Amino acid sequence: MTDPSPSTDRPGSREDELAARVAELEEAVRARDDFLAIAAHELRNPMHALSLHLGLAQARAARLADAELIGTLDGAGRSLERYIERATVLLDVSRVNAGQRALHLQDLDLAALVRQVAGGHAAEAAYTGAALLLDLPDSLYGRWDGMAVEQILGNLLSNAIKYGAGGPVEVTLARREAEALLTVRDHGPGIAAEDLERIFGRFEQVVSRAPRAGFGIGLWLVRSLLEAQGGSIAVQSRPGEGAAFTVRLPLDATPFGHQRP
C-alpha cells in the first residue's frame, strides 16, 4: 500500500525552505549594509576635524617657508584625503545597495564641474607627474545629481592618475544630440580584453601594479550612479595602450525605473 503520510521531500516543502533561506540571506545583506553605513559614518566624521587642523598646520608651514615641513604635511594631507575617500565610498556603496541613494536633480554646467573636479585633482596629478589636459566647451548645461556626477568624475580622474604611469590624462567633453559625452583617457598599462567588463564588478581590480589600491568598487559605483540617472559607461583599452572611459549622460537625467514624459 502507498504510505499516505506527507513527505518532507515534496516540491512545496523544498520551495518553502529555499524561500526561508533567501529571506535569511537578504537579512544578512541588510545587516552588512547597515554596519557599513554606520562604520563609514563614524570613521569619516572625525577626519574632517583633523583635516581642518592639518590645513592650519600647512598654512603655518607656508608662512615659515619650511620646505621640509611643507612636504611632510602635504604627504599627510594626501593620506588623509585617501582615507576620507575610502570611507565615503563605503558609505555610498551601502546606500546604493540599500536603495537609499536618492537623486537630487539640479541644473548644472557640466563643463564648469569638470574644471572644478580637475582642479581638485591637480596636486595628485602633479605628484605623479601626470598632466591634466582638458578639451571642454565653454559650457554644457543639463539636469543631473551634482554630487553623483562629481563623484563619477572624481573616481574616473583618480583612476586615470593612479594607473596612468605618470602619463598625461586627457579629458574631453562634448554634446551629442540629447546627451553629454565625456571621455577620460590615460596612457598607462591598459586592460586585457577579458577584463574589460569585469572591472565594473564589485571588489574587482585588474591592475595590481598601482602604488595604492582601493576597495575595487570605484568603477562599480560609477556605473551604478550613472545608471541611476539613465546614463552609461564604456571602456576601450588594449594592453600597453592605456584606457579610455566614455560616459554618456542624458541632458535631462531621469531616475532609473521612471519613464520620460
pLDDT of residue 101: 52
Q: Which amino acid is at 212?
A: R
Determine how β-strand 132-135 pairs with β-strand 169-176: parallel
Tell me, what DSSP letter sits at residue 5?
A: S
pLDDT of residue 37: 57
pLDDT of residue 85: 66
| Residue 80: C-alpha distances to residues 5, 39, 87, 167 (Å) | 67, 17, 11, 25
- Which of 27-36, 56-65, 206-215 is predicted least confidently? 206-215
Tell me, what DSSP letter sits at residue 252?
A: B
Determine how β-strand 179-186 pairs with β-strand 243-250: antiparallel
Residues 6+ apart with CB under 8 A from 189: 163, 165, 207, 209, 239, 240, 242
Model confidence at 14: pLDDT above 90: no
pLDDT in tens, 183-196: 999 999 988 888 77
- Of 177 and 214, which is predicted with more confidence? 177
Q: Where are the beta strands (DSSP E) in the chain?
A: 105-109, 132-135, 141-145, 169-176, 179-186, 232-237, 243-250
In three-state secondary structure terms, 132 is strand
- Of 260 and 239, which is predicted with more confidence? 239
CB 228 within 8 A of CB 148: yes
* Cell numbers standing for residue 235: 571602456
129: left (phi over 0), alpha (psi -120 to 50) or beta: left
- Which of 17-21, 97-101, 111-115 is predicted least confidently? 97-101
* Cell numbers standing for residue 138: 565653454
Mean pLDDT of the region 99-118: 84
Mean pLDDT of the region 82-108: 66
CA 232 to chain centre: 14
* Cell numbers standing for residue 89: 565610498
Model confidence at 1: pLDDT above 60: no
Torsion angle, alpha carbons of 82, 128, 119, 83, to 10: 0
The whole-angstrom separation of Cα 96 and Cα 105 is 17
pLDDT in tens, 25-49: 767 666 656 566 555 555 555 666 6
Model confidence at 214: pLDDT above 60: no
- Which of 44-53, 57-66, 210-219 is predicted least confidently? 210-219
pLDDT band at 258 (very low <50, low <70, confident <90, very high): very low
Rounded mean pLDDT of the chain?
77
The whole-angstrom separation of Cα 64 and Cα 196 is 49
In sequence order, the β-bridge partners of residue 184 are: 171, 245
pLDDT band at 200 (very low <50, low <70, confident <90, very high): confident
pLDDT of residue 176: 93
158: left (phi over 0), alpha (psi -120 to 50) or beta: alpha
SS (H, E, C) 43-86: HHHHHHHHHHHHHHHHHHHHHHCCHHHHHHHHHHHHHHHHHHHH
